[in-house]
Amino acid sequence: MIPPRLLAAIAAALGFGAAVGGPFHAHAAAAPNHPRTTTPIEHLVVVMQENHTYDNYFGTYPRGDGLPRGVCMPLDPDRKGGRCVRPFHIGDNGIVPRDLDHSRSTYLGQLNGGRMDGFVRALERRNQDGRLAMAHYDGRDLPYYWNLADEYVLFDRFFSSSGAGSFLNHFYWVAGAPARSGDRISPAGVRGIPTIFDRLEEAGISWKFYVQNYEPRLTYRTVDRFPPNRASQVIWVPLLNIPRFIDDPRLNRHIVDLHEYYRDAARGRLPAVAFIAPSGPSEHPPSSVVSGQAFVRTLINQLVASPHWRRSAFLLTYDDWGGWYDHVRPPRVDAHGYGFRVPALLVSPYARRGHVDSVVHDFTSILRFIEDNWRLKPLAQRDRRASSIATGLDFGQPPRPPTFTSAVRSAPAPDELRARTALVYVLYGGAILLTAGLAVSASRRGKGRGSAPLGRRT
């Protein structure tokens, strides 16, 4: 028998612990019981990052509805034949990303009555460099996200729920409706609005809201007592604006620090529904897109390495457009939205491989999936009418085995990429068997010679 310490050393030497962003667990605890679902998905994880459009991230991706050929955004939409700005790669001409204005007035100015030609001028009116609206990233900057799109599902008709405002969009994310305080934190809190977590709690379905660098004392009641850069916790975690989720220990215990996500996944104890709010690596300009990808990759890798993988789905999206250009006019569904398109990726063993999903979605499409999958009542008109993100899933296929998506963009053909991945795992498996065989052989020889136990010097 191979000593446990030797097995651990073999796993560490082969890099499994580092690959998944956490410790390697040979024996995970059994998953908790969950009510029966209508699909094979028993665990949904949703992460909401910050402030980018589809064209800003995937405008030059080889598939999907990206940047139109020859587009040039006028400096003055009311003047025919005037100067215009073409899309350009961020970093060209020394231009670096910054936090662009993304207020309601800028949204309306950029939309320009549906003409979609006010992106430069609207920022200029806010005393910002309007050219920045036309900047975009590509596969050099976003290798991990583009690789996810190659292997899983990219949505190219995923709109933010509201035309402006992080606070408003985060409430659509959890409640399918806007807070009565609009796009601002109310000193009275938000009352009289049900959330998806109320529905889950009533049905006895497990849930958690994981918060990176969580400060439990920071809520709508105390936001003025903390530095301004910490106020985002109250905006990005809408439950911290609702008194019952603060005052009722039965509800409040579900809002936890992000470190519990890694622990829960490794132990096979993830809840049925998990929402995640970031902190530093949120990709909110000028935050680094590199650190944002590294953050999301650790979350996905932990899920891939967990016992939950075969029954899970992971959705990544962004709360609003951040002032960047997007060429698709958002449908008008009510007074608040939709807003411009945002990036969205769906990772699951049932995700359609390399699929671009062009069904119209918004944040309430996440709620619709939860409601359909766990047989819950809709919260509001928006989620009742929304399409479900299940359009990106194919339950007629067997679940894919776990694989770790590369953070390096080499862009091989899909068949070649799959062949390389398979080869890596064959080599890893062979290395384990070979190492284990040598260890057993050495152990037997040692016993035959009456040698000292492993680790002691003679």
User: What ranges do the domains of the chain cover?
Assistant: 31-411
* DSSP characters over 409-441: -----HHHHHHHHHHHHHHHHHHHHHHHHHHHH
pLDDT higher than threshold 60 for residue 78? yes
SS3 at position 448 = helix
The pair phi, psi for residue 217, each rounded to 5°, is -80, -15
Q: For the residues 46-51, what does the mean pLDDT come to?
A: 98
pLDDT reading at 23 higher than 70: no
- Residue pair 270/264 in contact (Cβ under 8 Å)? The answer is yes
pLDDT-above-70 percentage for the chain: 82
Q: How far apart are CA 274 and CA 272, in angstroms?
A: 7
Helix 166-175 and helix 364-374: axis angle, to 10°?
10
Question: For 422-451, what is the mean pLDDT?
Answer: 43
Helices (H) and strands (E) in the chain, counts: 16, 12
pLDDT confidence of residue 182: 74
With beta carbons less than 8 A apart as the criterion, state whether 431 and 438 touch.
Answer: no
Q: Is residue 98 predicted with pLDDT exceeding 60?
A: yes
Q: Is a pLDDT exceeding 80 seen at residue 20? A: no
pLDDT at 364: 98
Kindly tell me if the per-residue pLDDT of 433 is higher than 80: no
Whether pLDDT at 142 is above 90:
yes
> Which has the higher per-residue pLDDT, 166 or 439?
166
Residues 170 and 211: beta-carbon distance below 8 Å:
no
CA 106 to centroid of chain Cα atoms: 26
Provide the residue type at 271 as one letter.
P
What ranges make up the beta strands (E) of 8-120?
Answer: 43-49, 73-74, 84-85, 88-89
Rounded mean pLDDT, 196-200? 98
> Which has more confidence, 237 or 28?
237
Amino acid at 420: R
Q: Decide if pLDDT at 123 tops 70.
A: yes
Domain 31-411 - what CATH class? alpha beta
Q: What pLDDT, on the 0 to 100 scale, is given for residue 411?
A: 52
Least confident segment among 15-29, 113-127, 270-284, 439-453: 15-29
pLDDT reported for residue 1: 44
Report pTM: 0.83
Give bridge partners of residue 257 from the DSSP assignment.
Answer: 211
CA-to-CA distance for 342 and 52, rounded, in angstroms?
6
pLDDT at 92: 82
Residue 313 has pLDDT above 80, yes or no: yes
CA 345 to chain centre: 7
pLDDT of 184 higher than 90: no
Q: Rounded to whole angstroms, how far apart are CA atoms 248 and 189?
A: 15
Extract the tokens encoding 46: 């949703």
Which tens digit of pLDDT belongs to each residue from 364-386?
999 999 999 999 999 999 999 99
**What is the Cα gyration radius of the chain?**
24
Q: What is the pLDDT of residue 95?
A: 76
Q: 205 or 182, which is more confident?
A: 205
pLDDT digits (tens, 9 = 90+) for 387-431: 999 999 999 999 999 999 999 987 544 444 444 444 334 333 444
- Residue 210: phi, psi to the nearest 5? -85, 130
Residue 165 has a pLDDT of 87
pLDDT for 16 beyond 80? no
Distance, in Å, from the CA atom of 129 to the CA atom of 404, rounded to the nearest integer, reads 40
**% the chain with pLDDT above 90:** 76
Computed over every residue of the chain, the mean pLDDT equals: 86
Distance CA 281, CA 279 (A): 6
Predicted local distance difference test score (pLDDT) of residue 443: 46
CA distance 80 to 83: 9
How far from 422 is each of 80, 136, 415, 418, 426, CA to CA, in Å? 56, 33, 11, 6, 6
Position of tokens 């549906």? 114
Task: Specify the amino acid at residue 235.
Answer: I
* pLDDT score at 417: 40
Least trusted range by pLDDT, from 14-18, 46-50, 100-104, 296-300: 14-18
- pLDDT of res. 34: 57
Spatial distance between the Cα atoms of 278 and 295, rounded to a whole number of angstroms: 9
Higher pLDDT, 134 or 440: 134
Question: 2-11, 25-34, 86-95, 326-335 — which one is most confidently predicted on average?
Answer: 326-335
Q: What is the pLDDT of residue 410?
A: 72
